Amino acid sequence: MNHMNQIILNMENSITPKAIPVIVPLAYQAMLNLQEKINQANAVLIKAGRGTSKRDEDGIPLWQRYSLSVPEAAKYFGIGETRLYQIVSEHPGADFILEIGSHVKIKRVLFERFLDAASCV
């Protein structure tokens, strides 16, 4: 008989599994802990407005701009757009308002001071 076309398989019939080195579970746990810390740090950065890479066409991030549009200010300050428009209409001529034609922008630092002095918004 020609044995050239036969494949011989040797299988181990051991019921007990081979031992896993002690370092493997420790390494997996260390990687999970590190990933959790990275996720927590990213959440804090994003909440503070520093973790996103979104920039406008000039490359200036929100937290460095002189003025913000109402949608940008809503995102930056965590206040709804509708409420921001109400604040602008309730405070005509306020120093934190910048009118450019028919557009309204909010001066970021001056509005921060306004919010610091406010007890409710």
Q: Determine the Cα–Cα distance for residues 108 and 65; give it in Å rounded to an integer.
A: 7
The 10s digit of each residue's pLDDT in 90-103 is 999 999 999 999 99
pLDDT category of residue 113 using cuts at 50, 70 and 90: very high
Mean pLDDT for the chain overall = 79
Residue 20 has pLDDT above 70, yes or no: no
pLDDT category of residue 50 using cuts at 50, 70 and 90: low
Q: Given this model, what pLDDT does residue 41 score? A: 74
Query: Higher model confidence: residue 25 or residue 4?
Result: 25
